[in-house]
């Protein structure tokens, strides 16, 4: 197709910029078709699709701008984890079918559906590049008669027709759906052969090999792989059949996916005869540009192998709990909406203890603070959250040197043990690009400082803004450097220890860590459960009765009418017809829990009524084992109403309606 760049929109959001191949630029017919296809692609609702945000067909090199999906493709997931099964496989099948129904519902045909075009961001499946292949394929067929756009293994038989431009319709995408699902279930395509030509021959003449695919899904995949496109179900029929065939309650555990699929069932449904050819360039219907900062539409969620969440709307701000006064604050006009993490590090929570694992290289333990110790290795990393931070960010953490010769390390934008790192030692602070699997620095800067004496604690900060990282100690800048590596635009924040003396064990201490992405737009006010006394609702990820801690994300439950009014959403939007909306802060916190807290369960015989106003203490008492068993079954966390007293959880009420 061309070259894809990671870009930043004027309001700071990360986007994918697709620059099409230069040889297409001279073709005026291509520009017209490209313009038409992009205009229609903008109409596709955001049900499991990556939005087309902007395009310029008249640029010297035509390009389009699409939503940036920061996650692996389905092909990468299968390659790394193996074939999918059970509820996870069924959810992927439903998610991709939902996307196809949304795409076909506005008269667009994908033409290049394959595992590489199904991406996951925090577990959310999104189909990309819909509609664009058509414009490229027409140009290719005019310039080279033997060239097609697409991957042979996923092409329907009619794609090989000499007049495929006239005969290919939505049924070709349904065929590709069958191949994608078969691949997800078995790790291979059903017409696989040694060469593309042999694969094409099998697609045209042989039945599919569906060995390893069982049950109702096998029958449905077989129907979508019929040679005759008229014998295949439409995308809407496919989605209906998938929802009817759902067993085991897998979709009940993924309410957002279910709501998205049901919403698509009641929208669009353009008849096959209305899937239209592109209009001539001068007669194209004007469509509204999808703004980068628009309120998020319903998305699919709940894939079983990863976290997935209904992302907070772009115009909402992230939760901002109290932190040390000297923690760095976001500044400037950056508007990236990203995750947040806050942990006192006085107990197991977002960061884990690992001494019991028997690692000879070192360990991390908790004793009113987190202690990182090297043993037989030069350095040791503590196991912490997997959240990825892109663009501007701030990091604040209390650092103490426990033993002589020890250095505290803070990696940021860390990917596979490569990333930027700040080192806080007794006599100097260092900042550099760590390119040697964590054992050294490149492009290193150092500054002498006498602040880090053994036994003392200081507030350290790292602020990444406008391509520059600045390190502070107790609020005072000490050094900075550009952060311009194109392969490190996002990554994890990791805490650890370095033995700078090269003898004996080396120990450092961390406390009160606070990781932030700059917020965007009008703030939404979330209750901070880590301070004061309050009642609120959170998404609970873990409850550790031994460490007396819980990992949770503050959220808001809002009546949909109030939600749409507050955030200026068209009342006709599908969101406004739902009973309620979940607004997420995208910030995870570790909350202290009182010994033997009150555990209850809230159930409403009246259905969804009352769920918005549910508060802790309104449910029926349940046992600790029943509560923890329920939470263990929530792959993406369960919604829990909590009561806190003095920043300590005293009551947890599970909300079973979710």
- CATH number for the domain spanning 231: value is 1.10.510.10
* pLDDT-derived band at 378, boundaries 50, 70, 90: confident
Q: How far is CA 446 from CA 400, 471, 481, in A?
A: 19, 11, 11
Is residue 307's pLDDT more than 50? no
Is residue 334's pLDDT more than 80? no
Based on the number of CB atoms within 10 Å of its own CB, is 156 exposed (0-12), middle (13-18) or buried (19 or more)? buried
517 in Cβ contact with 337 (< 8 Å): yes
486 shares a domain with 616: no
Between these two residues, 591 and 446, which has the higher pLDDT value? Answer: 591
545 shares a domain with 451: no
Read off the tokens for 187. 């790790």
pLDDT for the residue numbered 607: 60
Q: Is 89 helix (H, G, I), strand (E, B) or coil?
A: helix
**Does any domain span residue 79?**
yes
DSSP output for 266-310? TS----GGG-PPPPPGGGPPP-----TTSPPPP-----TTS----
pLDDT for the residue numbered 248: 56
pLDDT for the residue numbered 25: 62
pLDDT for the residue numbered 297: 29
pLDDT for the residue numbered 22: 64
Q: Where is the domain boundary, 270, 285, 309? A: 270
Residue 87: name the closest of 185, 183, 179 by CA. Answer: 185
pLDDT for the residue numbered 88: 82
pLDDT for the residue numbered 403: 94
pLDDT for the residue numbered 166: 52
* pLDDT-derived band at 352, boundaries 50, 70, 90: very high
184 shares a domain with 215: yes
pLDDT for the residue numbered 304: 30
* pLDDT-derived band at 180, boundaries 50, 70, 90: very high
Is residue 497's pLDDT more than 80? yes
- Compute the distance between CA of residue 387 and CA of residue 340 in angstroms, rounded to an integer: 8
507 shares a domain with 620: no
527 in Cβ contact with 338 (< 8 Å): no
Based on the number of CB atoms within 10 Å of its own CB, is 571 exposed (0-12), middle (13-18) or buried (19 or more)? exposed
Task: Summarize the confidence of residues 127-155 as an average pLDDT.
Answer: 61
**Does any domain span residue 633?**
yes
| Pairing assessment for the beta strands 389-390 and 442-448 based on DSSP bridges | unpaired
105 shares a domain with 12: yes
181 shares a domain with 39: yes
* pLDDT-derived band at 165, boundaries 50, 70, 90: low
pLDDT for the residue numbered 135: 57
pLDDT for the residue numbered 400: 95
Per-residue model confidence as pLDDT tens digits over 525-538: 788 899 889 999 99
* pLDDT-derived band at 134, boundaries 50, 70, 90: low
- Of these ranges, 275-279, 287-291, 502-506, 585-589, the one predicted with the greatest mean pLDDT is 585-589
Is residue 335's pLDDT more than 80? no
Is residue 597's pLDDT more than 90? yes
Phi, psi (rounded to 5 degrees) for 443: 50, 45
Task: Summarize the confidence of residues 378-389 as an average pLDDT.
Answer: 89
* pLDDT-derived band at 364, boundaries 50, 70, 90: very high
Of the residues 112, 392, 514, 528, only one is catalytic, namely: 112
pLDDT for the residue numbered 278: 31
Query: 134 lies in which domain range?
Result: 2-270
**Does any domain span residue 542?**
yes
Per-residue model confidence as pLDDT tens digits over 217-257: 999 999 999 999 999 999 988 988 888 876 555 666 666 66
Please state which of the ranges 276-290, 538-552, 582-596, 602-616 shows the lowest mean pLDDT: 276-290
pLDDT for the residue numbered 613: 77
Q: Where is the domain boundary, 218, 249, 270? A: 270
- Compute the distance between CA of residue 237 and CA of residue 217 in angstroms, rounded to an integer: 14
**Does any domain span residue 526?**
no
pLDDT for the residue numbered 309: 24
Alpha-carbon dihedral of residues 522, 523, 524, 525, nearest 10 degrees?
-150
248 in Cβ contact with 226 (< 8 Å): no
Task: Summarize the confidence of residues 544-571 as an average pLDDT.
Answer: 86
427 shares a domain with 559: no
370 shares a domain with 477: yes
Hey, which residues does 140 pair with through a beta bridge? Answer: none
DSSP 326: T
The share of the chain scoring above pLDDT 90, in percent, equals 35
Per-residue model confidence as pLDDT tens digits over 4-61: 889 988 888 889 998 876 666 666 767 777 887 787 777 787 778 888 888 888 887 7
242 shares a domain with 352: no
**Does any domain span residue 347?**
yes
Per-residue model confidence as pLDDT tens digits over 188-211: 999 998 888 889 999 999 999 999
Between these two residues, 151 and 123, which has the higher pLDDT value? Answer: 151
Is residue 370's pLDDT more than 80? yes
- Of these ranges, 315-324, 543-552, 576-585, the one predicted with the greatest mean pLDDT is 543-552
**Does any domain span residue 293?**
no
Ramachandran bin of 147, using left for φ above 0, alpha for ψ from -120 to 50, beta for the remaining angles: beta
112 catalytic? Reply is: yes
Task: Summarize the confidence of residues 325-354 as an average pLDDT.
Answer: 66
Q: Is 399 helix (H, G, I), strand (E, B) or coil?
A: strand
**Does any domain span residue 120?**
yes
pLDDT for the residue numbered 579: 80
pLDDT for the residue numbered 329: 34
153 shares a domain with 56: yes
Task: Summarize the confidence of residues 129-142 as an average pLDDT.
Answer: 56
pLDDT for the residue numbered 281: 30
Number of domains present in the structure of the chain: 3
**Does any domain span residue 600?**
yes
Between these two residues, 360 and 641, which has the higher pLDDT value? Answer: 641
Phi, psi (rounded to 5 degrees) for 258: -65, -45
How far is C-alpha 421 from the geometric centre of its chain's CA atoms?
A: 24
358 shares a domain with 464: yes
349 shares a domain with 238: no
pLDDT for the residue numbered 86: 83
pTM attached to this predicted model: 0.54
* pLDDT-derived band at 544, boundaries 50, 70, 90: very high
Per-residue model confidence as pLDDT tens digits over 257-296: 676 677 676 554 433 333 333 333 332 222 222 222 222 2
Is residue 305's pLDDT more than 70? no
Is residue 500's pLDDT more than 90? no
Read off the tokens for 601. 């369960």
- Compute the distance between CA of residue 467 and CA of residue 458 in angstroms, rounded to an integer: 26
* pLDDT-derived band at 150, boundaries 50, 70, 90: low
Name the average pLDDT for the chain. Answer: 78
Task: Summarize the confidence of residues 61-83 as an average pLDDT.
Answer: 88
345 in Cβ contact with 512 (< 8 Å): yes
Q: Where is the domain boundary, 234, 255, 270? A: 270
CATH number where 474 lies: 2.60.120.560
């Amino acid at each position: 197709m061309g070259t894809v760049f990671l870009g930043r929109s004027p309001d700071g959001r990360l986007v994918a910029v697709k620059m099409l191949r230069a040889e297409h630029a001279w073709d005026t017919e291509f520009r017209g078709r490209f313009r038409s296809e992009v205009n229609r692609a903008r109409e596709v609702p955001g049900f499991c699709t990556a939005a087309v945000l902007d395009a310029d067909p008249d640029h010297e090199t035509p390009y389009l701008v699409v939503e940036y999906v920061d996650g692996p493709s389905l092909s990468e997931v299968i390659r790394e984890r193996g074939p999918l099964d059970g509820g996870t496989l069924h959810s992927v099948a439903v998610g991709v079918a939902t996307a196809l129904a949304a795409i076909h519902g506005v008269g667009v045909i994908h033409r290049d559906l394959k595992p590489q075009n199904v991406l996951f961001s925090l577990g959310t499946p999104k189909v990309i590049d819909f509609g664009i292949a058509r414009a490229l394929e027409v140009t290719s067929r005019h310039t080279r008669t033997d060239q097609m756009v697409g991957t042979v293994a996923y092409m329907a038989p009619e794609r090989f027709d000499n007049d495929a431009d006239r005969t290919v319709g939505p049924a070709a995408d349904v065929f590709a759906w069958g191949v994608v699902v078969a691949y997800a279930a078995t790790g291979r395509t059903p017409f696989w052969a040694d060469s593309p030509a042999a694969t094409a021959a099998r697609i045209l003449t042989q039945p599919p090999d569906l060995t390893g695919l069982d049950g109702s899904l096998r029958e449905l995949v077989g129907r979508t792989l019929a040679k005759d496109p008229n014998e295949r179900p439409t995308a809407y029929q496919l989605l209906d059949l998938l929802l009817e065939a759902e067993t085991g309650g897998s979709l009940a555990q993924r309410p957002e996916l279910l709501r998205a699929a049901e919403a698509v069932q009641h929208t669009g449904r353009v008849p096959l005869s209305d899937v239209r050819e592109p209009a001539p360039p001068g007669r194209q219907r004007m469509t509204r540009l999808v703004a980068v900062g628009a309120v998020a539409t319903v998305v699919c969620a709940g894939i079983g192998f990863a976290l997935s969440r209904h992302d907070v709307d772009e115009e909402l701000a992230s939760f901002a709990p109290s932190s040390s006064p000297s923690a760095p604050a976001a500044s400037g006009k950056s508007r990236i909406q990203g995750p947040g993490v806050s942990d006192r590090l006085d107990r197991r929570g977002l960061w884990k203890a690992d001494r019991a694992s028997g690692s000879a290289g070192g360990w991390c333990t908790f004793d009113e603070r987190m202690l990182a110790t090297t043993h037989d290795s030069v350095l040791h990393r503590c196991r912490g959250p997997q959240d990825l931070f892109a663009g501007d960010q701030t990091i604040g953490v209390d650092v103490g040197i426990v033993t002589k010769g020890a250095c505290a390390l803070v990696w940021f934008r860390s990917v596979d043990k490569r990333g930027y790192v700040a080192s806080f030692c007794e006599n100097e602070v260092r900042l550099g690009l760590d390119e040697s699997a964590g054992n050294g620095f490149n492009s290193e800067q150092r500054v002498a400082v006498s602040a880090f004496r053994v036994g003392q604690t200081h507030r350290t900060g790292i602020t990444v803004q406008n391509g520059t990282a600045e390190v502070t100690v107790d609020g005072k800048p000490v050094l900075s450097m550009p952060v311009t590596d194109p392969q490190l635009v996002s990554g994890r924040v990791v805490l650890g220890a370095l033995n700078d003396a090269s003898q004996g064990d080396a120990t450092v201490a961390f406390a009160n860590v606070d990781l932030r992405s700059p917020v965007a737009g009008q703030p939404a006010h979330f209750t901070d459960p880590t301070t004061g006394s309050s009642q609120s609702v959170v998404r609970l990820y873990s409850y550790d009765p031994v460490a007396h801690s819980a990992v949770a994300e503050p959220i808001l439950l809002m009546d949909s009418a109030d939600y749409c009014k507050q955030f200026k959403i068209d009342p006709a939007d599908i969101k406004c017809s739902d009973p309620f909306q979940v607004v997420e802060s995208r910030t995870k916190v570790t909350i202290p829990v009182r010994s033997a807290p009150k555990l209850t369960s809230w159930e409403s015989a009246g259905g969804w009524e009352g769920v918005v106003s549910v508060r802790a203490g309104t449910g029926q008492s349940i046992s600790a084992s029943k509560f923890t068993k329920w939470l263990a079954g929530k792959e993406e966390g369960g919604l829990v109403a909590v009561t806190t007293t003095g920043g300590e959880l005293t009551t947890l009420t599970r909300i079973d309606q979710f």
